[in-house]
């Protein structure tokens, strides 16, 4: 008896790996559309602000693709208890390359978040960056148990993700001190410095 298409698929992919692109591309588009809809509802939609929405859509899709996947439909049983996939000791056996990568990946978030927050004070930006990073680590932990995810929930990732967000925010703040930068940033901000909506451009 010859193997049918489903049998061949099961042999070639015994764990049923879920493809990345059919998930993250629609996710990025949905994020972009929802953000533009929000801007439209507040009569703030403009090309520069839509560009920020597009950047956030691409960023969300990229983060999900690189931090959650691979995931599997027929995941093997976890090799140990759930806490075996958690690293809570900071700066022990943590690669410098991983630290630099996490910093670089989260720097754009430190730039984008202040542009969309109503009141982009430093502690709100910091809270948002920490919240996003913590959500990623918790999702990775859940993916390990329920979908055979291959990422470890690591406190070091949380630390260096946050550092990257802070550095990105710092660069934006430094740019905001340059002559004429306020006029440029105002086109991309979703609220002015006092937290009041800006008129559409």
Reduce the secondary structure of 86-139 to three states and give it as a string. Answer: EECCCCCCCCHHHHHHHHHHHHHHHHHHHHHCCCCCHHHHHHHHHHHHHHHHHH
d(CA 65, CA 68): 6
70-74, 121-125, 183-187: least confident range: 70-74
Domain count, the chain: 1
Q: What pLDDT score does 194 carry?
A: 46
Residue 128: inside a domain: yes
Tokens of 20: 């990345």
Question: Mean pLDDT in the chain?
Answer: 84
In a domain, 193, yes or no: no
107: in domain: yes
Pick the closest to residue 170 from 118, 116, 113, 90 (CA basis).
113
Task: Say if 197 falls within a structural domain.
Answer: no
How confident is the model over 171-175, as a mean pLDDT?
A: 94
Give the H or E element holding residue 53: helix 47-67
Residue 190 makes CB contacts below 8 A (sequence gap 6+) with 39, 44, 49, 52, 115, 116, 117, 118, 197, 198
Which structural domain range is residue 90 located in?
5-188
Residue 196 lies in a domain: no
pLDDT (mean) for 155-173: 96
Q: Is the pLDDT of residue 8 over 90?
A: no
- Check residues 12 and 31 and name the one with the higher pLDDT: 31
Q: Enter the tokens of residue 37.
A: 């809809």
Confirm whether 194 is domain-assigned: no
State whether residue 162 is helix, strand or coil.
helix
What token pair was written down for 67? 């931090």
pLDDT for residue 71: 79
pLDDT in tens, 80-137: 555 556 888 888 888 999 999 999 999 999 999 999 998 888 999 999 999 999 999 9
Is 199 exposed, middle or buried (CB count within 10 Å of its CB: 0-12, 13-18, 19+)? exposed
Residues ≥6 apart with Cβ < 8 Å to 140: 67, 68, 85, 149, 151, 152, 153
Query: Are 129 and 106 contacting, i.e. CB atoms less than 8 angstroms apart?
Result: yes
CB atoms near residue 110 (< 10 Å): 24
In-domain check, residue 116: yes
């Amino acid at each position: 008896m010859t193997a049918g298409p489903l049998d061949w698929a099961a042999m070639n992919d015994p764990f049923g790996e879920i493809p990345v692109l059919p998930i993250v591309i629609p996710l990025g588009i949905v994020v972009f559309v929802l953000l533009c809809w929000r801007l439209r509802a507040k009569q703030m939609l403009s090309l520069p602000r839509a560009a920020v929405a597009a950047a956030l859509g691409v960023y969300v899709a990229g983060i999900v693709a690189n931090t959650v996947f691979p995931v599997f439909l027929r995941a093997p049983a976890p090799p140990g208890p759930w806490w075996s996939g958690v690293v809570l000791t900071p700066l022990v056996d943590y690669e410098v390359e991983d630290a630099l990568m996490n910093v670089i990946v989260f720097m754009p978030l430190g730039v984008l978040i202040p542009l969309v927050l109503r009141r982009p004070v430093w502690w709100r930006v910091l809270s948002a960056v920490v919240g996003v990073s913590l959500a990623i680590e918790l999702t990775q932990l859940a993916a390990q148990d329920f979908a055979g995810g291959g990422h470890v929930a690591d406190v070091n990732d949380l630390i260096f993700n946050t550092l990257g967000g802070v550095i990105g925010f710092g660069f934006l703040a430094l740019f905001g001190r340059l002559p004429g930068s306020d006029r440029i940033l105002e086109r991309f901000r979703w609220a002015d410095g006092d937290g009041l909506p800006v008129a559409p451009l």
